[in-house]
Amino acid sequence: MSAAVDPSTSLWRDRDFNIYWLGQTLSGLGDAFAAIALPLLVLQATGSLHRMGTLTALVGVAHIVAGLGSGALVDRVDRRRLMIACDLGRWIVYSAVPLVWWLHGPSYWFLVFAGSVGALLGNTFQVAAITAVANLVPRARLIDANGRMHGSYALMFFVGPMLAGEVCQRFGPSTAIAIDCGSFLVSAASLTLVRARFAAADAERERVGFVAGFVAGVRFLWSVPTLRAVTVLLGLSSLLMAGRENLLIYYVKRTLHGDDRAVGRVFALAALGSVLGAWATPAMRARWGFGACWLGAGVLMGVGLLCFGAAGSLAVVAGIAMAIAFAETVRGINTMTVRQEITPDRLLGRVTAAFWALLTVPGALGAEVTSRLAERYGVQAVLPSLGGALVALMVVGALTPIRRPVAPMP
């Protein structure tokens, strides 16, 4: 961590954090394009909701594979160089998607290949990114830094989907993917300008094997009651929530007969909810604490899905998506911050990778199962059922250590 930074100093005066924040914010605009373009490419290639769910599940498997080794890798190498390498690798892989589309035509299986390789690199990048924030700012400012990172990223998902929907409508989703590729170069360039260390001190690095590193991460998660409860409950939540974006896009396109612009607008309004959630989280955490924020956000997400049964217009769908995104952001920032607060820096990569890998397993299964159920029973029947189950899960969560105050590491 950059120990020279005074915890009372505004993050706006922290050169390294601001460069890092700006680069990742601009990169988030490319991610917003990809979030709209990839599902539309699947529909263009196959016309199948089931195929959308299958792609999400296969990408999830790639995240699981990456999670077995990315944590140990992040904790033993220069994290900044690793992140730059991941950015350049993703630029190469995703640049091939529009080339294949233009030269060969729609190819679902190439999307599976590109998505899987991109997920391997993306998982490693994101694990390193979590540790980077913990290295760049004092521990007392983590909730503020995470809120700002999430808020600006969500703002890009407010602007990005509208722009992506327009690009997809006019030029096709493959063009939107080409724009996304440039974001990886922006991220890599910004990382080269950061001066601070992104890694634990050399004396604290442990040269452990990939599998041993994953096991060490799992053991730490299980040894801390709060992290154990969060991991289990989030895993079950992932089973319920992983496929909702595919279902939302399918519902807007096929049931409400919206065009690509409509998809972009719904996702943009959802991103506005994320911006509000990121802005509100530090104050909510200070007033109500981790447990109330985390459980309350989960209940709001479930209630939002329950209301989906009455969604008969784009405006209602967008409002529900906005409320769910607000709650998911509040829960996500609190989850990330408490993990950074509790975990020693030398273990943070392994713990983060293990945490994500454990959540990806039910997420991949959930994406496949919910898409099949939605094709059979309809989106408006499946989403409210998932919402009711999520509310019940949060009631159970109130009986776990999540409700108790969290003691940060010294």
CATH number of the structural domain spanning residue 92:
1.20.1250.20
Crossing angle of helices 79-103/108-136, nearest 10°?
Answer: 160
Q: How many residues are recorded in the chain?
A: 410
**Rounded Cα–Cα distance for residues 234 and 246 (Å):** 19
Kindly state the percentage of the chain with pLDDT values over 90. 31
Question: What total of structural domains would you count in the chain?
Answer: 1
**Rounded Cα–Cα distance for residues 324 and 395 (Å):** 18
**Rounded Cα–Cα distance for residues 363 and 62 (Å):** 12
1 confidence band (pLDDT: 50, 70, 90): very low
pLDDT at site 138: 85
Q: Cβ(327)–Cβ(277) under 8 Å?
A: yes
pLDDT (tens digit per residue) in 98-140: 888 888 888 888 888 888 898 889 889 988 988 888 888 887 8
pLDDT at site 409: 47
Q: Cβ(88)–Cβ(184) under 8 Å?
A: yes
In a domain, 359, yes or no: yes
Lowest-confidence region among 203-207, 240-244, 395-399: 203-207
pLDDT at site 3: 39
Which carries the bigger pLDDT value, residue 68 or residue 334? 334
pLDDT at site 141: 85
pLDDT (tens digit per residue) in 285-341: 989 999 999 999 999 999 998 887 777 788 888 888 899 999 999 999 999 999 988
Q: Which of 312, 244, 231, 326 is nearest to 277 (CA)?
A: 326
End-to-end C-alpha distance for the chain, whole angstroms = 13
pLDDT at site 366: 83
Average pLDDT of the residues of the chain: 84
**What is the rounded radius of gyration, in angstroms, for the C-alpha atoms of the chain?**
20
Lowest-confidence region among 35-44, 88-97, 233-242: 35-44
- Characterize 78-105 residue by residue with b for buried, 16 or more Cβ atoms within 10 angstroms of its Cβ, and e for exposed: ebbebbbbbbebbbebbbebbebbeeee
In a domain, 113, yes or no: yes
If 0-12 CB within 10 Å is exposed, 13-18 middle and 19+ buried, where does residue 159 land? middle
pLDDT at site 189: 94
370 confidence band (pLDDT: 50, 70, 90): confident
pLDDT at 374 over 80: yes
Which carries the bigger pLDDT value, residue 332 or residue 408? 332
Q: Which domain holds residue 385?
A: 11-199+207-403
Q: Cβ(352)–Cβ(227) under 8 Å?
A: no
pTM over the 0.95 mark: no
- Both structure tokens of 22: 């700006």
pLDDT at site 227: 94
pLDDT at site 203: 43
**Rounded Cα–Cα distance for residues 385 and 374 (Å):** 11
In a domain, 360, yes or no: yes
In a domain, 171, yes or no: yes
In a domain, 1, yes or no: no
In a domain, 320, yes or no: yes
For range 163-170, the mean pLDDT:
83
In a domain, 410, yes or no: no
pLDDT at 361 over 60: yes
Which carries the bigger pLDDT value, residue 226 or residue 54? 226
pLDDT at site 209: 66
Dihedral of the alpha carbons of 257, 259, 264, 270, in degrees to the nearest 10 = -10
At which residue do the structure tokens 């924030």 appear?
133
**Rounded Cα–Cα distance for residues 262 and 405 (Å):** 43
pLDDT at site 137: 87
Q: Cβ(185)–Cβ(83) under 8 Å?
A: no
406 confidence band (pLDDT: 50, 70, 90): low
